[in-house]
């Protein structure tokens, strides 16, 4: 498989009145052609900021990308001019956002908004763009697509709006689709519709997908490979079956244990992770998970563990080998 995107040492900071927020702290990951990468973490762990940084969509100021590279097809996205990245954004790498209510312009028709990227990126004429927009709506399963082009965003339900959002993201046949919690605002039955839709389109078009979510359930069904983020770091990375079958980082273990499962047979007490995620005004010189970790040893307080290869396909950032039978006290 060919490498599509390679991010290395990405660092993003927010310079706020209260201090510098260290949102992303040296993140490395790769994305292959046609692959679906799941990015998991809780709110504030830096998963969205990482992807927004790659597309240079961080509001600046207060945000700033302070280091790293993001190489897409041989070019560093972080170094190119505003003009150049505009040709990539929405055309070759596109993004779907969490809230389908606020990501549209409420005073323009859906048709107008769908046609805009087609005219801008692909240089289509108005009639051609309109034709293609109708096709796109059909592709994502919106009935009476042609008539609905004249409707405004508020005339669509949440699930339908997210479909339109996906249609817009796919309009220029991107190579990468970044989906940032695209189903979090939706009901489960609608969520299932959207997940199936993205899977189907992904396989048809052969694009790569980065799916950002806090829901380990969705990731299990859609991703090939998963990275887990905490406090602006990637703390674990593995193929999906390996990660769920053999989680290595205490945080990942904790997350898995804190989820009730629909197919659980016996009632068990949920494993909760004590304490709160850190606020990143200062980069700790120890492991950022140490204060909440059940496996903590002295070394954790002295050095922040780097993300290292533990087996062929499994990277972990932890000093402790959880599998060695060390149980929490």
Give the closest residue to 22 by CA, choosing from 304, 243, 212, 300. 304
Residue 5: name the closest of 57, 76, 68 by CA: 76
Interatomic CA distance for residues 171 and 174, integer angstroms:
8
42 binds other proteins (CB under 8 A): yes
Phi, psi of 261 (to 5 degrees): -115, 145
β-strand partners of 71: 6, 76
Return the residues of window 202-221 that contact other proteins according to CB under 8 A. 214-221
Residue of 240, 253, 317, 322 that binds other proteins (CB under 8 A): 240
Query: What residues contact 125, with CB distance under 8 A and at least 6 apart?
Result: 119
CB of 296 to other proteins, least distance (A): 16
Q: Does 16 bind other proteins (CB under 8 A)?
A: no
List C-alpha distances in Å: 106 to 109, 132, 188: 8, 22, 26
Structure tokens at 189: 């039955």
Interface with other proteins includes 155 (CB under 8 A)? no
Q: How far is the CB of 114 from other proteins (least distance, A)?
A: 20
- Quote the least distance from Cβ 166 to other proteins, whole Å: 16
Q: Quick check: bond before 221 cis, omega within 30?
A: no
> Residue written as tokens 């609608």?
190
Q: Closest approach of Cβ 5 to other proteins, in Å? A: 23
| 160 touching other proteins, by CB under 8 A | yes
Name residues contacting other proteins, limited to 251-310 (CB under 8 A). Answer: 254-264, 267, 269-274, 276-277
In order of 25, 80, 168, the CA distances from 116 in angstroms are 35, 23, 9
CB of 267 to other proteins, least distance (A): 7
Site for other proteins (CB under 8 A): which residue of 241, 306, 321, 328?
241
Task: List the one residue from 17, 43, 74, 123 that touches other proteins (CB under 8 A).
Answer: 43
Does residue number 244 form part of the binding site for other proteins (CB under 8 A)?
Answer: yes
- Residues in contact with other proteins, counted by CB under 8 A, come to a total of 46
Burial of 112 (0-12, 13-18, 19+ CB in 10 A): middle
| Closest to other proteins by CB, 276 or 323 | 276
Q: Is 18 in the site for other proteins (CB under 8 A)?
A: no
| Residue 221 Cβ vs other proteins, minimum distance, rounded to whole Å | 4
* 3-state secondary structure (DSSP) of residue 125: coil
Which chain residues interact with other proteins by CB under 8 A?
A: 42-43, 157, 159-160, 187-193, 195-196, 214-221, 240-241, 244-245, 254-264, 267, 269-274, 276-277
């Amino acid at each position: 498989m060919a490498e599509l995107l390679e991010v290395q040492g990405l660092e993003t900071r927010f310079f706020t009145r209260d201090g510098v927020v260290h949102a992303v702290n040296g993140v490395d990951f790769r994305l292959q052609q046609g692959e679906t990468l799941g990015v998991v973490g809780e709110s504030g762990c830096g998963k969205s900021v990482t992807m927004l940084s790659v597309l240079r969509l961080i509001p600046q100021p207060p945000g700033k990308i302070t280091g790293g590279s993001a190489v897409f097809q041989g070019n560093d996205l972080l170094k190119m001019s505003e003009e150049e990245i505009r040709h990539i954004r929405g055309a070759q790498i596109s993004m779907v956002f969490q809230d389908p209510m606020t990501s549209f312009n409420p005073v323009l028709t859906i048709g107008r908004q769908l046609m805009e990227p087609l005219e801008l990126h692909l240089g289509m004429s108005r009639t051609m763009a309109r034709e293609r927009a109708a096709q796109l709506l059909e592709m994502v399963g919106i009935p009476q697509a042609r008539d609905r082009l004249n409707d405004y965003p508020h005339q669509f339900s949440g699930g339908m709006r997210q479909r339109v959002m996906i249609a817009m993201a796919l309009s220029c046949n991107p190579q990468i689709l970044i989906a940032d919690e695209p189903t979090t605002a939706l009901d489960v039955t609608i969520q299932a519709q959207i997940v199936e839709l993205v899977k189907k389109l992904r396989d048809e078009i052969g694009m790569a997908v980065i799916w950002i979510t806090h829901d380990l359930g969705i990731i299990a069904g859609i991703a090939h490979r998963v990275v887990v983020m905490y406090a602006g770091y990637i703390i674990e990375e593995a193929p999906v079956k390996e990660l769920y079958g053999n989680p290595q980082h205490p945080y990942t273990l904790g997350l898995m244990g804190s989820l009730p499962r629909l197919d659980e047979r016996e009632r068990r007490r949920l494993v909760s992770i004590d304490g709160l995620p850190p606020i990143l005004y200062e980069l700790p010189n120890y492991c950022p998970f140490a204060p909440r970790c059940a496996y903590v040893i002295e070394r954790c307080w002295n050095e922040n563990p780097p993300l290292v290869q533990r087996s062929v396909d499994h990277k972990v950032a932890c000093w402790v080998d959880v599998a060695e039978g060390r149980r929490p006290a």
